Amino acid sequence: MSADHSHDHDHEHGPDCGHNHDVVYNKVVKANHKVAAVLLRNAKTIELTFDERQEVPHDVKATDGSTLICHLHDTVEVGDKLVSNTNEWAIVAAAQEELFEVVRGQKGFEEFLHVAGLNFWPVQLNEKGARVVASHECMHMLEHFELKFSTLTAPMLEIVVPELKHHDCCDHDHGHGHDHEHSHAHAHEHKHGPDCGHDH
């Protein structure tokens, strides 16, 4: 009885959709997970911008010019590895993208970082100041704070959200005085007299 298994591949996307759906990258191995070098010998490298690392596109160009099909629901980080259903590997790298660099020490710098943190803009802090992924909103905000900035093309690497990491970035008091000097004498004035209306 020779069962015919030719029906295995009837999820055709039409002969001319241009995708090879035989190889789909659908697993992420985190960067800190040790992987045997032999597995990565033929690994492709994909360069993703910060936004693409938050949501990996369906079609990703590898550095060798080939296109990889990715079905991933997780965010990825630089150094993560993707594994396909056929056990092929790809390594995530940071693509060059347009960044604004803002020199620290300018008036409004800390306020700008605060706004960047609230907007979840990726911020990379370095010894000179901060780098942010270029956007119109970001440019308007820099102009609003009258900050001088330069534009450069570089990979957006380390993400540091200043608000969460440390509160000692500014030396002014935010006025969080904790003086709870409220008189609590009024707390028990709801006397239960005979006609207070409660069913005792």
- pLDDT (tens digit, 9 = 90+) per residue, 29-49? 999 999 999 999 999 999 999
- Residue 173 has a pLDDT of 47
**E strands within 18-174?**
24-29, 44-48, 59-61, 67-70, 81-84, 89-94, 96-103, 123-125, 129-133, 149-155
Strand, coil or helix: what is 194?
coil
Q: CA–CA separation, 147 vs 164, rounded Å?
A: 23
Q: CA–CA separation, 76 vs 74, rounded Å?
A: 6
Domains located in the chain, CATH noted: 20-94 (2.60.260.20), 96-165 (3.30.70.790)
- Residue 115 has a pLDDT of 95
- Residue 161 has a pLDDT of 53
Q: CA–CA separation, 40 vs 42, rounded Å?
A: 5
| pTM of the complete model | 0.67
Residue 60 has a CB neighbour count (10 Å cut-off) of 21
- Residue 157 has a pLDDT of 84
- Residue 150 has a pLDDT of 97
Q: CA–CA separation, 95 vs 78, rounded Å?
A: 10
Q: CA–CA separation, 29 vs 35, rounded Å?
A: 9
Q: How would you classify the pairing of strands 44-48 and 89-94?
A: parallel
- Residue 12 has a pLDDT of 45
Burial of residue 105, with CB atoms counted within 10 A of its CB: 0-12 exposed, 13-18 middle, 19 or more buried = exposed
Residues of the chain with pLDDT under 70: 1-21, 158-200
- Residue 200 has a pLDDT of 58
- Residue 182 has a pLDDT of 52
DSSP string, 142-191: HHHTT--EEEEEEE------HHHH-STT--S------------GGGG---
Strand, coil or helix: what is 130?
strand
- Residue 167 has a pLDDT of 42
- Residue 37 has a pLDDT of 92
- Residue 20 has a pLDDT of 55
How many H helices and E strands in the chain? 4, 10
